[in-house]
């Protein structure tokens, strides 16, 4: 019957059409009423980030099932691509599909300025949940005056090393400076190759033209006194001798202590090389908690051999100290969600679960300054707190907001072109400075000490 709605002007009188129309509405209303009596449970879709490692998935599934048992709300877990720039493209595309897009999204801390117009301000709905959060962390999820996401995972760049090899080659502690790392890497690499492990390298990191390179390179230059590309006072500082020297130093590693293929590595590539016994040192993301940035947890799945022989420490110091990039993601609710209440409940549930699991986690803290983990969680937290606070470098995403994507793409291309030898570093830095002025309109200035 719904296929033959009378259309005025097609042989039926106006009055008859109106009566039929009203009858039709009545039928729809009755049907609608019957329908809601045995209402389907609401399903929220969740764009979840993270590299799903084999033993991650059951834990995530059971968490989402627990949410459904407690609330009656079902969750549809959507797969995501590996790299953060691809994740951004996907999130942006799906948000444009309005109500057909995801209800809840995990968003990398750097994309809030880009995505915020499509995200709900969670400031009020979730205010009760905020007291335990590290205030600085909460602030990094604000964009354009609103809390566009609530911190969920926290990551900090750290250095992993082979405990067994360091001992074997007579080192009592992991390297504190890039100079020390180079010396140790050269020696261990030569020793392991002499034993027949011809493909062994000193140091693996992420040199592919992707955001992971931003994280590596900003660590090199910040530690050398070369600033963080764009400073907190919105000045462009990237074209300076310290930053240039730090890129040149990294270029020199390639083919010396790092494999030429490092230019194509992202996180999982370098992790695999390290876990398969192919390197002495590697840059990796360490996990920290949302309430206490200091406590590291090892976030990546490792095989048991790797777990036993891997140590973690802060990224080595350059001339003015060291720097580990702040990474991680927050949970956001789509402005277009037709299940906003249920979506907010999912965010609340997940952040509570995360805080709870952080509290019970005393695994794999950073081994600074020696080889041995501190005896208790609180002791370990204090040790690493000092280290991390001194060493956190934050990418200039809040300074550049919706333009951070362009800024990051320009920076990545520049550093990559230096590493491949396509452009000399001073020329590349000068061209990048011009490009950043064009993108942001910000003035040029020196790196700031307090950044």
337-396 binders of ligand GLC (CB under 6 A): none
Binding range to ligand GLC, per CB under 6 A, among 8-16, 193-201, 298-306, 322-330: 322-330
State in angstroms the smallest separation of the CB of 87 from ligand GLC.
Answer: 9
**Least CB distance to ligand GLC at residue 84 (A):** 4
Distance (Å, whole) CA 43 – CA 51: 24
| Nearest to ligand GLC of 217, 244 (CB atom) | 217
The least CB distance from residue 289 to ligand GLC, in Å, is: 14
Task: Find the binding residues for ligand GLC in span 264-283 (CB under 6 A).
Answer: 267
Segment contacting ligand GLC (CB under 6 A): 16-24, 103-111, 119-127, 240-248?
103-111
Residues ≥6 apart with Cβ < 8 Å to 298: 286, 287, 307, 312, 363, 364
- In eight-state DSSP terms, residue 294 is T
Q: Is 400 in the site for ligand GLC (CB under 6 A)?
A: no
Closer Cβ to ligand GLC, 267 or 399, answer by number? 267
Query: Quick one: 285 or 442, whose CB is closer to ligand GLC?
Result: 285
Residue 110 interacts with ligand GLC (CB under 6 A): yes or no: yes
Do 228 and 222 meet the contact criterion of CB atoms below 8 Å apart? Answer: yes
216 belongs to the binding site for ligand GLC (CB under 6 A): no
Q: Shortest Cβ distance from residue 5 to ligand GLC (Å)? A: 52
Dihedral of the alpha carbons of 102, 107, 111, 113, in degrees to the nearest 10: 70
Q: Does 152 bind ligand GLC (CB under 6 A)?
A: no
Taking CB under 6 A as the criterion, the residue among 327, 330, 396, 447 binding ligand GLC is 327
Closest distance of CB 198 from ligand GLC, Å: 30
Using omega within 30 degrees of 0 as the cis cutoff, is the peptide bond preceding 140 cis? Answer: no
| 317 touches ligand GLC (CB under 6 A) | no
Give the bridge partners for 276, in sequence order. Answer: none
Q: Which residues of 4-36 are buried (b: 16+ CB within 10 A; e: fewer)?
A: eebeeeeeeeeeebeeeeeeeeeeeeeeeeeee
User: Nearer Cβ to ligand GLC, position 236 or 394?
Assistant: 394
Q: Contact letters (x/-) for ligand GLC, 158-197, by CB under 6 A?
A: ----------------------------------------
Strand pairing class (324-333; 104-108): antiparallel
Judged by CB under 6 A, the number of residues near ligand GLC is: 13
- The Cα–Cα gap between 211 and 203 comes to 19
| CB nearer ligand GLC, residue 119 or residue 244 | 119
Q: Which of 194, 208, 243 is nearest to 82 (CA)?
A: 208
The percent helix, strand, coil of the chain (3-state, each to 5) is: 50, 15, 35
* Interatomic CA distance for residues 165 and 368, integer angstroms: 17
Binding mask 54-93 for ligand GLC (x = CB under 6 A): ------------------------------x---------
Longest CA–CA span in the chain (Å) reads 98
User: Of the two residues 107 and 343, which places its CB atom closer to ligand GLC in the complex?
Assistant: 107
- The interface with ligand GLC within residues 404-423 (CB under 6 A) comprises none
Residue 119 CA to residue 352 CA, distance in Å, equals 21
Least distance from ligand GLC to the Cβ atom of residue 355, Å: 18
Closer of 102 and 157 to ligand GLC (Cβ): 157
285 binds ligand GLC (CB under 6 A): yes
Q: How far is the CB of 136 from ligand GLC (least distance, A)?
A: 15
What does DSSP assign to residue 336? T
Looking at the DSSP assignment, which residues form a beta bridge with residue 157? Answer: 285
Question: Binding ligand GLC by CB under 6 A: which of 45, 91, 155, 189?
Answer: 155
Is residue 400 within 8 Å of 381, Cβ to Cβ?
Answer: no
Q: Which residues of 260-279 are buried (b: 16+ CB within 10 A; e: fewer)?
A: eebbebbbebbbebbbebbb
Question: Directed axis angle between helix 404-419 and helix 211-223, to 10°?
Answer: 70
* Residue 109 vs 355, nearer CB to ligand GLC: 109
Nearest approach, Cβ of residue 328 and ligand GLC (Å): 5
Kindly state whether residue 143 participates in binding ligand GLC, applying the rule CB under 6 A. Answer: no
Residue at shortest CB range from ligand GLC? 327
Nearest to 316 by CA among 407, 203, 429: 203
- Please identify which residue in 80, 166, 212, 294 interacts with ligand GLC, judged by CB under 6 A: 212
Whether 327 and 177 have beta carbons less than 8 Å apart is answered as no
Instruction: Give me the residues that bind ligand GLC (CB under 6 A), please.
Output: 84, 108-110, 155, 211-212, 215, 267, 285, 327-329
């Amino acid at each position: 019957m719904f296929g033959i709605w009378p259309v005025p002007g097609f042989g039926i009188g106006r009055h008859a059409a109106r009566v039929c129309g009203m009858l039709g509405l009545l039928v729809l209303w009755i049907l609608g009423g019957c329908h809601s009596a045995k209402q389907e449970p609401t399903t929220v879709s969740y764009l979840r980030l993270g590299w799903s490692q084999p033993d991650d998935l059951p834990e995530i599934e059971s968490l989402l099932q627990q949410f459904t048992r407690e609330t009656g709300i079902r969750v549809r877990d959507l797969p995501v691509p590996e790299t953060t720039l691809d994740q951004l493209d996907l999130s942006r595309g799906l948000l444009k599909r309005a109500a057909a897009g995801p209800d809840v999204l995990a968003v990398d801390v750097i994309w809030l300025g880009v995505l915020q117009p499509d995200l709900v301000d969670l400031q009020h709905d979730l205010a009760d949940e905020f007291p335990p959060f590290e205030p600085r962390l909460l602030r990094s999820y604000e964009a354009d005056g609103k809390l566009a996401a609530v911190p969920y995972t926290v990551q900090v760049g750290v250095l992993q090393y082979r405990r067994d090899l360091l001992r074997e080659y007579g080192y009592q502690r992991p390297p504190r400076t890039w100079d020390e790392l180079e010396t140790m890497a050269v020696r261990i690499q030569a020793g392991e190759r002499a034993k027949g492990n011809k493909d062994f390298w000193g140091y693996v990191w992420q040199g592919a033209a992707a955001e992971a390179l931003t994280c590596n390179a900003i660590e090199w230059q910040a530690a050398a006194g070369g600033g963080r590309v764009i400073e907190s006072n919105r000045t462009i500082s990237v074209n300076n001798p310290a930053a240039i020297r730090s890129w040149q130093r990294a270029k020199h590693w390639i083919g010396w202590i790092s494999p030429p293929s490092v230019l194509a590595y992202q996180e999982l590539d370098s992790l695999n090389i390290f876990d398969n016994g192919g390197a002495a040192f590697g840059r990796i993301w360490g996990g920290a908690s949302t309430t206490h940035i200091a406590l590291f947890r090892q976030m990546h799945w490792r095989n048991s051999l790797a777990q036993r022989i891997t140590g973690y420490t802060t990224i080595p110091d350059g001339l003015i100290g060291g720097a580990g990039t702040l990474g991680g993601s927050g949970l956001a609710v789509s402005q277009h969600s037709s299940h906003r209440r249920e979506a907010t409940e999912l965010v609340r549930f997940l952040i509570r679960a995360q805080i709870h699991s952080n509290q019970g986690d005393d695994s794999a803290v950073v081994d600074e300054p020696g080889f041995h983990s501190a005896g208790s969680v609180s002791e370990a937290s204090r040790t690493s707190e000092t280290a991390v606070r001194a060493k956190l470098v934050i990418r200039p995403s809040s300074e550049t907001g919706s333009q951070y994507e362009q800024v990051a793409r320009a920076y990545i291309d520049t550093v990559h072109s230096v590493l491949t030898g396509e452009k000399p570093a001073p020329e590349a830095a000068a061209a990048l400075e011009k490009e950043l002025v064009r993108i942001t309109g910000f003035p040029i200035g020196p790196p700031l000490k307090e950044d």
